[in-house]
């Protein structure tokens, strides 16, 4: 009989313990979603530098430095793909404005919280485009601006719920060095 009395007292305590555990789990899950949405809203991508390298027709490339700033305490965002489309201007002249130079790169790297992450990509130009860019740059004494449109595809926990990743689009003008 004494065993039944302890079992009667144990059942409510087990229920209270399970309820408390479920509440803590719910609070932690809710916090993750709040941080996720805050991070998605504050995440920024920029092109910090574009550098013309090797002004030789067969070995010319443009190095593109892309930065991601995640100012929130959430580390579950993964940039997956970067698409860049660019043309060059100097004064009233432009190069590749009708058919811009476009490239894509796969990243698949998780962003750390409160960190700036930087990637450097190489855009290798064919000999005709390399010659055109070299002549354009020399004609304008190296004062060339790259007008760039880029899209970064970011994967997160929401992909499972919504079925689509997040996209960050930016137009940016940067001096070609």
How far is Cα 2 from Cα 117, in angstroms, rounded to an integer?
64
Whether residue 2 has pLDDT greater than 60: no
Mean pLDDT for 114-138 is 82
Query: Which tokens hold the place of 169?
Result: 């689009």
How far is Cα 33 from Cα 158, in angstroms, rounded to an integer?
9
Q: Are 147 and 86 in contact (CB under 8 A)?
A: yes
- Please, which pLDDT band fits residue 55 given cuts at 50, 70 and 90? low
Domain 43-176: give its CATH superfamily. Immunoglobulins (2.60.40.10)
Whether residue 3 has pLDDT greater than 60: no
pTM for the model stands at 0.70
Place of tokens 């004064």: 91
Cα-based distances in Å from 98 to 87, 88, 95: 8, 11, 8
Whether residue 57 has pLDDT greater than 70: no
């Amino acid at each position: 009989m004494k065993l039944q009395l302890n079992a009667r007292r144990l059942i409510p305590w087990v229920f209270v313990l399970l309820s408390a555990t479920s509440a803590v789990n719910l609070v932690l899950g809710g916090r993750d979603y709040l941080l996720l949405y805050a991070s998605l809203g504050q995440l920024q991508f920029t092109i910090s530098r574009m550098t013309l390298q090797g002004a030789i027709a067969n070995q010319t490339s443009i190095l593109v430095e892309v930065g991601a700033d995640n100012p929130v305490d959430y580390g579950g965002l993964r940039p997956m793909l970067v698409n860049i489309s660019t043309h060059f201007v100097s004064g009233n002249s432009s190069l590749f404005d009708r058919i811009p130079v476009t490239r894509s790169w796969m990243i698949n790297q998780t962003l750390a919280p409160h960190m700036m992450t930087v990637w450097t990509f190489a855009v290798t130009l064919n000999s005709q485009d390399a010659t055109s860019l070299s002549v354009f740059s020399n004609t304008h004494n190296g004062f060339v601006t790259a007008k760039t449109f880029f899209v970064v595809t970011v994967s997160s926990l929401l992909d499972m719920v919504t079925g689509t990743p997040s996209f960050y689009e930016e137009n940016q003008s940067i001096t070609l060095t």
